[in-house]
Structure formats: C-alpha cells, structure tokens
Structure 1
C-alpha cells in the first residue's frame, strides 16, 4: 500500500507566533522523525503552506508564510505547495500528485487540528484515500472555549474510524 506524508501548515508565523502551539516542540520532533523515516524509505513528502491574501501576515513570500526551517524540507525532492482553504485538496493539485504516484495511504501531520487537519482528513476519506492521522504529530493553540489538549483529544476521537485511522509516531512503519 503506497504511502505519502502530508505536512500541513508548519509555518513560521503559526508555530512561532504570539499564541504558541500546544506541545509544539514534541510535535515538531515527531514530524522530523517521520520526515527522516520517509526519506530513508523513499516515501514522498508533501508539505503545504496556508497562504493569506496580499498584505496579511501569511501572504505568499512573507517571512511568517515560510515553512519551518527545522523541517529541512527540500523543494527539489519534496512536493511543496500552497493552499488558501483549510482543506489541503481544495484548489490544489494534491489529489492528482497522490494518484499519479499510486498513493492510497496518507499520513497527516501538522497544524491546526480543528481547521486544516480536520478538513483534510475528511476530504481525503471522501476522495477514497486511507488517511492516517498521526495522533501525536498535530497541534493547535488554546481557544477561549477549549484548551488545545482537549481539541486534539476530541479530534483524535471524532476522526478515528469514519474519517481516518489514528496512529502514533512510534507505531508508523513506512
């Protein structure tokens, strides 16, 4: 079953902004481990940036829009692309890239759990892919209503089964 790794919105402005992501360094470490494992096994890596309108803090090309340098992504071998909606498939060529590579299992990691992670898991399932949400490799920030840890736990429980299979970093074997 050919797999791919999808890294969502691990951007300078979101990760290092005024609101810090829950357990951010652990999540970043887990994503880095998955990148290393994917490289060792020649598993394709796709990384997407959320792109805001001109003049916004995450407008294309702005410092906050950039993917985290700590990920050590390489535009020559990794597929880097932009999106403007929470669903990483909407208005992008992600589905075509995955189909052309014969990928049917998509490991999903990154930010923010209740927006782009949730939307992309659901869309991947609707497209007939097998999304695997890496439970300890996605994050978000606290909101006025819920703590980030509760948001993450809720989404891991809600998405598990109908929309994705939940797996931990340590259990992934590409």
Structure 2
C-alpha cells in the first residue's frame, strides 16, 4: 500500500440522531480508528453532505454539522458535497493527488448511498480502498434491515471487487498501531 488517509463520510448530527443500525458501536468504532490514525500520523479527511435549502442536512444548520463523536481536529480537511459521491464536483481528488495519497480507509454513512458511491468512484479513479467491517451504517428500510444492508454491501458488493474489507484490528495494523 502507498500513502493512506482516512475518509470519514457524512457522519452528521441529523443522520446520527435518526438512530442508524449499531449507532453506539459504529460511533465508538469510528472514534477509535480516527484516534489511532491520528496517533500514527495518518491524515483524516472529512466529507459532509449539503442537502440544500430546507433539507435536514442544509449547510449551516445544526443537523449538517459533523457529529461530536468524530468531529474534526484543528487542521483536518472537510470537503462539502451535494451528491452521493465524495468526488463528484468537489476538490477531493485534486487534494489527494497533491498529497500523494493512493489508498483510502473509508468509513461513515450511509452504506448504500454515499459510502457505496464514494467506494466505487475511488476504485474507478485508481485508489486502493479499505473498509473496516462495521465502520459503515444505515437504517432499516421497507426492503431490508440496516444490518442486512450493511452485510450485503460488505460481503456481496465491495469485498474482493471494489475494496478490501477487514476487521478494525487489521486496519490498525495497516496504520502501524
């Protein structure tokens, strides 16, 4: 693997306060991985969704803010987006190239929307993608439970195709922790 960064996508107050699958465990997992990455000197990059006027994720509103469990530290970059992909109409790719980052540890919300779109876009752009198991989440819907959705994407969509899925302990090893 080349130079890595952690990409935390859409862990925003309104989304977390809607109580996704494994809410507490998910936040704890992200907090632990982010703290370990910081200690290892790995850059953490945040992506925040702006849903537009009147949306629960409208820029500048309380719900739009990054959740306090994983809020950025001074100097950590935040990229705002308006689409599912963290790359579409943002400067993220340019920033990663400037920093010579070749591999991403991807975490956040929602599994089947912004994480999936960002994972596939990163893959298509040539980035290595690692997703720690249990480090994405979503909600129950009329077709699947949040648990089934996460498992489906981890086991049937991403693993061996678009990303390397590994337990947090293995990700810590990649970080040199």
TM normalised by structure 2 equals 0.93
* Aligned alpha-carbon RMSD (Å): 1.0
Superposed CA offset, 1:145-166 (max 9, x none)? 1011110011001111121111
CA distance in 2, matches of 1:72, 1:53: 21
Match of 1:12 in 2: 13
SS in 1 for 2:131: strand
TM normalised by structure 1 equals 0.95
Per the TM alignment, residue 72 of structure 1 is displaced from its structure 2 partner at its CA by 3.5
CA distance in 1, matches of 2:56, 2:137: 20
Give unmatched runs, 5+ long, in structure 2: none
Superposed CA offset, 1:30-74 (max 9, x none)? 111111111111111111111011222211000000000121412
Give unmatched runs, 5+ long, in structure 1: none
Q: 1:23-34 maps to which residues of 2 (within 5 A)?
A: 23-34=22-33
Runs of 4+ in 1 over 6 A off after TM superposition: none
Q: 1:147-158 maps to which residues of 2 (within 5 A)?
A: 147-157=145-155, 158=157
CA distance in 1, matches of 2:87, 2:36: 24
**Do structure 1's residue 162 and structure 2's residue 161 form an aligned pair?**
yes
Per the TM alignment, residue 123 of structure 1 is displaced from its structure 2 partner at its CA by 0.4
